[in-house]
Amino acid sequence: MSQTILNDDSLTFAEKIISIKADGGKKVHNAGEIAVLPGDMAMAQDSTGPLAIKVFREMGVQKVWDPKKIHLVIDHSFPAPDEKVANLHIMIREFVKQQGVRLVEGSISHQHLLENHVVPGMVLFGADSHTCQAGAIGAFATGIGSSEMAAVWASGKLWVRIPESIKINLTGQFKKGVYARDIITHFIGMVGEDGGNYKSLEWKGPGVKNLSIASRACISNNSMECGCKLSIFEVDPVTQDYFKTANRKAMFEIHAGSKAHYKEEYDIDLGTLDPQVWGPGNESKVRSASEFGDDHLDEVFIGSSTNGRYEDLQVVGKILKGHKVRAGTRCIITPASRDVYERAIQDGLVETFLESGAVFTNATCGACVGTHLGVLGENETCLSTSPRNYVGRMGATTAKIYLSSPATAAASALEGHIADPRSYL
């Protein structure tokens, strides 16, 4: 039956993968239906895990369904910035020991799973909204809360509603200074913060082949900011190459049917995009970097699960090399994983960062979550490559947050205000 579903020309990615996985592939599920979906992997992090552990215990469940499939990741506030956080971290470590589940400390969960665990055709439930990042390699990956995570730990399954899908057709090639982040910022600006709510995004078209796995991960990750349930890049030669070196095999390579039904369709010509900036705050419009004035930036943060990958740090190194961060602007660079951190040290990128006057931190969610390593004070202004510019996200509720690509952020750190990166490339 699975083969029939895989070949069905009328189904979207979401319909296919849920149909294959739920009820043993015996039945086709269409958008709008409810199904009970077995998970292949479950992940919780240090700000959702402790509550999930508490709920799991309150339910009175003794043992998790499959310890090898459960990952706990201490990433949001790592290492613990204070005693309260440290105590919640202890709770996670004790649970890990008791249940024999997997633990990682000091890499962002989404990047850690992408580098080491997720494969195409897998179902990943994550107690973190940006879990949808793993859609970049053709996995069903979606965010849930702590109680539902406890239910997944207990039973290995969860109810899902089969989402309607939105197709985005990418064409053309980037101009200089434009990156994956600019695509997704542009898209969110176009559809709005709930433009993808409950939906599955499918990124398709000839422009996709120009996007690396890191770039796709940036887009799938940041798709959460329009509310989506899934954000999918189907397996193609770029994905296949990635998994050849990654030494892991796909469970399924799922391709949406050519006659699949999409609720909405969009076209984006990569060649028409300029570097994009969203802010200040999520109520502002998305504009080109060159449209901003010279308002002083107190902080530039480069990192997070959206844009803290090696590919991002390379571009930042290229821009910062031989220049100095403007006096009065803090530039904080935070790698997304231990692997990115080590490569940046080995390849001399960190030397470039330090020579420019930037701060290079350990791998963590860092300043994105406003709890350590770059918290914003009253009325401060920040340009960040992290996913969110919500009020109070990075610290004081009076602080202003703009979002951009790492290239725009690096150029802006040099100028001390929002700047177009193209003059540095």
Cβ neighbours of residue 60 closer than 8 Å, sequence gap 6 or more: none
**Selected binder of another protein within 231, 239, 304, 371 (CB under 8 A):** 371
Q: Assess 110 for contact with another protein (CB under 8 A).
A: no
**Selected binder of another protein within 4, 173, 240, 397 (CB under 8 A):** 397
- Core vs surface per residue 96-122: b (16+ CB within 10 A) or e: beebebbebbbbbbbbbbbbebbbbbb
Task: Write the DSSP assignment of 124-138 as a string of letters.
Answer: EEEESGGGGGGGGGT
Helix H or strand E segment including 356: helix 349-356
**Selected binder of another protein within 8, 23, 66, 311 (CB under 8 A):** 23
Cα 400 from Cα 392, distance rounded (Å): 9
Cα 90 from Cα 236, distance rounded (Å): 42
Q: Which of residues 270-329 bind another protein (CB under 8 A)?
A: 282-283
Number of shown-chain residues binding another protein (CB under 8 A): 67
User: Which is closer to another protein, CB of 194 or CB of 241?
Assistant: 194
- Least CB distance from residue 60 to another protein, whole Å? 6
Q: Which tokens go with 321? A: 């090399």
- Cβ atoms < 10 Å from Cβ of 211: 23
User: Which is closer to another protein, CB of 184 or CB of 289?
Assistant: 184
Cβ contact 404:185 at 8 Å: yes
- Least CB distance from residue 72 to another protein, whole Å? 15
DSSP category for residue 103: E
**Selected binder of another protein within 10, 25, 38, 61 (CB under 8 A):** 61
Q: Assess 113 for contact with another protein (CB under 8 A).
A: no
Q: Assess 91 for contact with another protein (CB under 8 A).
A: yes
- Least CB distance from residue 187 to another protein, whole Å? 16
Q: Assess 155 for contact with another protein (CB under 8 A).
A: yes
3-state secondary structure of 236: coil
- Least CB distance from residue 147 to another protein, whole Å? 4
Q: Assess 393 for contact with another protein (CB under 8 A).
A: yes
Cα 61 from Cα 385, distance rounded (Å): 40
**Selected binder of another protein within 12, 129, 356, 384 (CB under 8 A):** 129
Q: State how far Cα 216 lies from the chain centre.
A: 10
- Least CB distance from residue 415 to another protein, whole Å? 28
**Selected binder of another protein within 150, 336, 382, 399 (CB under 8 A):** 150
Q: Assess 36 for contact with another protein (CB under 8 A).
A: yes
Q: State how far Cα 342 lies from the chain centre.
A: 20
**Selected binder of another protein within 148, 264, 311, 339 (CB under 8 A):** 148
Task: Write the DSSP assignment of 367-422 as a string of letters.
Answer: GGGTSSSS-B-TT-EEEE-SS---TTTTB-TT-EEEE--HHHHHHHHHHTS---GG
- Least CB distance from residue 126 to another protein, whole Å? 8
Q: Assess 77 for contact with another protein (CB under 8 A).
A: yes
Cβ contact 274:182 at 8 Å: yes
Write out the residues near another protein by the rule CB under 8 A: 22-23, 27, 29, 32-36, 46-48, 50-51, 54-55, 58-61, 76-77, 82, 84-85, 88, 91, 126-129, 131, 143-148, 150-151, 154-155, 157-159, 161, 193-194, 197-198, 224-225, 227, 229, 282-283, 369-371, 375, 388, 390-393, 395, 397
